[in-house]
Copies of this chain bind each other. A is one copy, B any other.
Amino acid sequence: MKLFGRIAIIGVGLIGGSIGLAIKKRMVANEVVGVFRRQSTMRKALKRRAVDRGTLDIREGVKDADLIIIATPVSLIPDMASRAAKFAGENAVITDAGSTKAWIVDSVEKKFGKTAGPYFVGSHPMAGSEQGGVESATAGLLEGSPCIITKTGKTNRSALDKVARFWRALGASVKIMSPQAHDRSVSIVSHLPHIVAFGLAGATPAKELGCAAEGFRDTTRVASSDPELWADILTTNKKEIAEAAKLFDAYYKDIMKAVKGSRRNDVVRLLAKAKSKRDKLVYGKR
Report which A residues bind B (CB closer than 8 A): 126-129, 145-146, 148, 175, 184-186, 188-190, 192-206, 208-225, 227-228, 230-232, 234-235, 238, 241-242, 244-245, 247-248, 250-252, 255-256, 259-260, 262, 264, 267-275, 277-282, 286
- Set B195, B232, B259, B278: member contacting A195, Cβ < 8 A: B259
- Set B201, B218, B270: member contacting A275, Cβ < 8 A: B201
- Set B195, B241, B275: member contacting A225, Cβ < 8 A: B275
24 contacting pairs across A/B (C-beta < 8 A):
A128-B213, A145-B214, A146-B213, A189-B204, A189-B211, A190-B213, A192-B200, A196-B196, A199-B255, A201-B277, A201-B278, A202-B271, A202-B274, A209-B281, A212-B281, A219-B219, A219-B220, A223-B275, A224-B278, A225-B271, A227-B271, A231-B268, A238-B262, A242-B260
Interface of A is mostly: helix
Measured between alpha carbons, how far is A220 from B260 in the docked complex, in Å?
22
The count of identical subunits is 2
Measured between alpha carbons, how far is A214 from B220 in the docked complex, in Å?
12
A186 → chain B closest CB, angstroms: 6
Q: Known interface pairs A259-B195, A267-B234. Does A202 touch B273 (Cβ–Cβ under 8 Å)? A: yes
A248 → chain B closest CB, angstroms: 4
